Structure formats: C-alpha cells, structure tokens
C-alpha cells in the first residue's frame, strides 16, 4: 500500500492549496478528487462571476490575473488548473474517497480505485454535492434542477426560481434577460441581504416594474408537469410552469464526516468539531479545510477566508510556529 505523510480528500481550491503547501514543505501527499480539478467550480453557472476580486482567490501568492476585477468562472478554472499543472501537484482525479479508517499511528484511506496508508488526512470536501431539497410532491420530475447552468436553456419558457440568495437572483436575472418568463418564489419577506450589492438594485427594480414576478413569504407545495402550486400569504396559487430552478442552497456530506468519526454540534448548525488553531478535528491526525468547516453555515467560509487553512494545517503537522501564518 502506498504510504503518505498526508492525504487530501477533495481537489477544490482549498484542497489544492493544501496540496501545494504540503509540497512546499517537503511532505509526501496526494490529493484525491472525485471529479475534475475544482469540480464544484466546474459545475457553477457558465457565466458566473465571483464576488471576490481575483487577488482574494489567489493561492500561495501566485498571481491571478483576470480581465475585470472580479473574475469569471472560466478564468478561475484556468487559474486553479494552471496551479495544478505548473506545480505538478500530485492529484488523482475521478477517484472518490469512500472511507477513512483509523489504524495504529495513522489512517487507511479507501477510494473507489485504491487504498492508501497515511499519517494525516485533510478533509476538504466542500458542500456543493448535496442540494437542500424542498421535499414536495413532484420534486423528482425532470423539469426541476438544483444546479443552474446556462440561461439559453430557459429562453421562452415559464421558469420558477425558488430561493432568494445570490445563486437564485443571478439565475432569475440572467434567464429573464434571455427571454424566460421568470417567477421568484421566496420563503422569507425579502430578497436576501447577502445578495451582491451591485445586483440587489437590479433585481429590486425588475420586481418593482413587474418584469420578474416575486412571491414573498411563499413556499412551493407541489410540482406537476405543466404547473406548480405555491402557498402565499394570500392563499394557494397555481402557476403555469415549464421548469423549476430550486436554488435553495447546499449542505456538506454530514454522513461522510460522521463515518470518519468527526463529531458535529447537536443543533441545526451541525458544526464539525475542530481546533481553529490547528484545524485538527476530534480525531487525532484528521484535519478539516475550506468551506466544510462551517457545517450548515455554508456562507461562513469561502475561498477568500479559508485558503489560509492550508498553512495552518501544515504548520500543525510539522509542529511549526502558527504565528507565521498569514491570511
Ligand atoms: C455560485 C457561487 C459563487 C461563489 N463565489 C465566491 C467568491 O466570489 N469568493 C469566494 O471566496 N468564494 C465564493 N464561493 C464559495 C467558494 O466557491 C467555495 O468556498 C469554494 O469552492 C470552497 O472551496 P473548497 O475547496 O473548500 O470546496 P469545494 O470547492 O466545494 O471543493 C470540494 C471538492 O471535494 C470533492 N469531493 C467531495 N467529496 C469527495 C470524496 N468523497 N472524495 C473525493 N473528492 C470529494 C468535490 O468534488 C470538490 O471538488 C462561491 C460559491 C458559489 C456556489
């Protein structure tokens, strides 16, 4: 069995940052990624623009040059891909980690392709694999998607967008601009306060002028082939409908964390237990990095503020001074 100092589960921006830092520190490592390089970013909407400016997404001070201040998805794919290839990072793609077993003085990492022996494991699996479902009749119909890709698909169609966060608002605006008839269904009383400050006025104006219809304090009750039924403060409403984009957020794979022995807080946040000074979990030698650290608080960590985890963890593994870590 191959033996490593550290195995990184997940090849997102933060898993890659961990791999690069391990390499810089002279540790033997491999990144195991179940999809392509930065799989989550690969599945973001094709025209997506980051809210962070490019330098805030940089790893290890390697310059990220983008056309505008805030890079687009394609530029981010290029950047992280080049980090992997230029630094010849050891990453095994399309290899899914199924389990991590603790054994004397280390771990056995079992994937769908191989088994590895390692002294330390970093879990950097993000939260983008599991959408929050609405749990309503008809949710399994093919007209419903939890991931938004390209507005062209929805042109000239009656589209219901469920949600009020950045993803939902971006999709609603973009699809409306490409000719979809868009209705927003929002559980709370307003468009989310975290919606990008330059996008919020746009959506508010579109709603006010009636270009995009919005139902507030409303929830989807049933989805059928040609319509959807929603509960609104004024009673039940049935809307003619071709497609539903349920952009209601995502959640980490808690079952995977529990299988690895990581304890979660006993409340709705389900915060995984770890020491913020080392990122080590309640399991010795098992670390967390990236957005997975936030449990259900998926907005708490992002690339900007979690890229530092890579240095914190390598310092902890090597027992180096944590004061040298900079964000
Ligand atoms: C639409 C959108 C816009 C965003 N904009 C910004 C922004 O502007 N600025 C910012 O800082 N952040 C932004 N974020 C958040 C940011 O993209 C995430 O914080 C970032 O992807 C986190 O990186 P990560 O490496 O922790 O997780 P991820 O990028 O999700 O990577 C986790 C990886 O683990 C892999 N994986 C999962 N399970 C396994 C397994 N069992 N075995 C092997 N591999 C596995 C996945 O395939 C994935 O590639 C945005 C997020 C979204 C959804």
Could you tell me the distance, in angstroms and rounded to a whole number, from the CA of residue 127 to the centre of ligand 1?
A: 7
Q: What is the pLDDT of residue 104?
A: 83
Cβ count within 10 A of residue 22 = 28
**Beta strands at 97-103 and 91-92: parallel, antiparallel or unpaired:** unpaired
Query: 309: which residues sit within 8 A by CB, 6+ positions away?
Result: 14, 17, 18, 124, 279, 288, 289, 290, 293
pLDDT band (50, 70, 90) for residue 105: confident
What the block records as the tokens of 306 is 């979690």
Candidate from 116, 128, 131, 166 with most ligand 1 atoms within 8 A of CB, to mutate: 128
Residue 305 CA, ligand 1 centroid: distance in Å: 13
What's the gap in Å between 228 CA and the centre of ligand 1?
Answer: 31
Encoded tokens for 57:
């997404």
> Is 136 strand, coil or helix?
coil
| Residues 33 and 18 sit within 8 Å (Cβ to Cβ) | no
pLDDT(100) > 60: yes
Give, using CA atoms, the residue closest to atom 5 of ligand 1: 50
Closest of 244, 204, 202, 213 to residue 227, by C-alpha: 244
Average pLDDT over residues 299-320: 95
Ligand 1, atom nearest to 14 Cα: 25
Query: What gap in Å lies between CA 204 and CA 187, rounded to an integer?
Result: 16
Kindly tell me if the per-residue pLDDT of 288 is higher than 60. yes
- The band of 326, judged by pLDDT with boundaries at 50, 70 and 90, is low
Confidence of residue 320 (pLDDT cuts 50, 70, 90): confident
Select from 11, 279, 303 the residue to mutate for testing ligand 1; criterion: most ligand atoms less than 8 Å from CB: 303
How large is the average pLDDT for residues 213-228? 98
Q: Are 288 and 298 in contact (CB under 8 A)?
A: no
Which residue has the CA at smallest separation from atom 41 of ligand 1? 97
Best mutation site among 11, 12, 42, 247 for ligand 1 pocket (most ligand atoms within 8 Å of CB): 12
CA of 151 to the centre of ligand 1 (A): 22
Shortest-distance atom of ligand 1 to CA 42: 49
pTM of structure: 0.94
State the distance from the centre of ligand 1 to the C-alpha of 10, rounded, in angstroms.
Answer: 9
Q: How far apart are CA 48 and CA 57, in angstroms?
A: 15
Work out which ligand 1 atom sits closest to the CA atom of 125. Answer: 34
β-bridge mates for residue 6, sequence order: 29, 120
Distance CA 230, CA 220 (A): 4
| Ligand 1 proximal residues by C-beta, below 6 Å | 9-15, 32-35, 39-40, 44, 48, 50-52, 96-97, 124-126, 128-129, 167, 290-291, 302-304
| pLDDT tens, residue by residue, 16-36 | 999 999 999 999 999 999 999
174 CA to centre of ligand 1 in angstroms: 22
User: What's the pLDDT at 324?
Assistant: 52
Rg (CA), the chain: 21
- The residues, any chain, with a CB within 8 Å of residue 113's CB and separated by 6 or more, are 92, 95
Average pLDDT, the chain: 96
DSSP 150: -
Rounded to whole angstroms, the Cα distance separating 291 from 305 reads 9
- d(Cα 286, Cα 94) in Å, to the nearest integer? 22
Q: What is the pLDDT of residue 325?
A: 54
What distance in angstroms lies between residue 111's CA and the mean position of ligand 1's atoms? 20
Give 252 Cα–ligand 1 centroid separation in angstroms.
10
pLDDT by residue (tens digit) across 119-146?
A: 999 999 999 999 999 999 999 999 999 9
327 pLDDT above the threshold of 60: no
Q: Across residues 108-122, what is the average pLDDT? A: 97
* Averaged pLDDT, 267-290: 97
Q: Which atom of ligand 1 is nearest to the CA of 290?
A: 26
Q: What is the pLDDT of residues 239-255, one digit of tens each?
A: 999 999 999 999 999 99
Sheet containing 181-185, strands listed edge to edge, beginning at the edge strand earlier in sequence = 144-145, 243-246, 158-162, 181-185, 213-215
**230 CA to centre of ligand 1 in angstroms:** 32
Whether 180 contacts 155, CB under 8 Å = yes
Asked if pLDDT for residue 321 goes beyond 80, the answer is: no
156 in Cβ contact with 180 (< 8 Å): yes
228 burial (CB, 10 Å; 0-12 / 13-18 / 19+) is buried
Position 64 confidence tier, pLDDT thresholds 50, 70, 90 = very high
Closest CA to 41 of 118, 128, 157: 128
Q: How far apart are CA 226 and CA 20, in angstroms?
A: 50
Both structure tokens of 71? 């890079």
Closest CA to ligand 1's atom 31: 12
Q: Closest Cα to atom 45, ligand 1: which residue?
A: 10
């Amino acid at each position: 069995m191959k033996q490593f100092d550290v195995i990184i589960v997940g090849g997102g921006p933060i898993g890659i940052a961990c791999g690069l830092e391990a390499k810089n520190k002279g540790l033997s490592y491999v990144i195991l990624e179940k999809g392509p390089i930065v799989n989550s970013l690969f599945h973001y909407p094709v025209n997506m623009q980051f809210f962070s400016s490019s330098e805030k997404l940089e790893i290890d001070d390697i310059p990220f040059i983008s056309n505008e201040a805030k890079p687009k998805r394609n530029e981010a794919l290029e950047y992280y891909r080049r980090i992997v290839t230029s630094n010849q990072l050891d990453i095994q793609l399309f290899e899914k980690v199924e389990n991590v077993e603790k054994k004397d003085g280390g771990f056995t990492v079992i994937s769908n392709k191989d088994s590895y022996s390692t002294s330390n494991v970093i879990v950097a699996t993000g939260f983008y694999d599991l959408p929050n479902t609405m749990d309503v009749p008809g949710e399994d119909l093919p007209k419903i998607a939890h991931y938004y890709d390209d507005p062209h698909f929805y042109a000239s169609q009656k589209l219901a967008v469920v949600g009020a966060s950045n993803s939902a608002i971006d999709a609603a605006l973009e699809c409306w601009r490409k000719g979809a008839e868009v209705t927003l269904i929002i559980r709370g009383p307003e468009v989310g306060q975290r919606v990008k400050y330059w996008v919020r006025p746009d959506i508010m104006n579109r709603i006010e002028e009636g270009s995009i219809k919005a139902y507030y304090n409303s929830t989807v009750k049933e989805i059928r082939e040609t319509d959807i039924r929603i509960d609104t403060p004024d009673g039940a409403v049935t809307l003619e409908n071709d497609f539903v984009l349920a952009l209601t957020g995502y959640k980490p794979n808690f079952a995977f964390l529990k299988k690895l022995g990581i304890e979660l807080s006993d409340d709705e946040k389900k915060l995984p237990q770890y020491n913020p000074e080392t990122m080590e979990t309640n399991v010795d030698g098992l670390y967390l990095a990236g957005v997975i650290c936030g449990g259900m608080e998926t907005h708490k960590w992002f690339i900007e503020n979690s890229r530092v985890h890579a240095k914190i963890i390598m310092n902890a593994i090597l027992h180096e001074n944590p004061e040298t870590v900079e964000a």
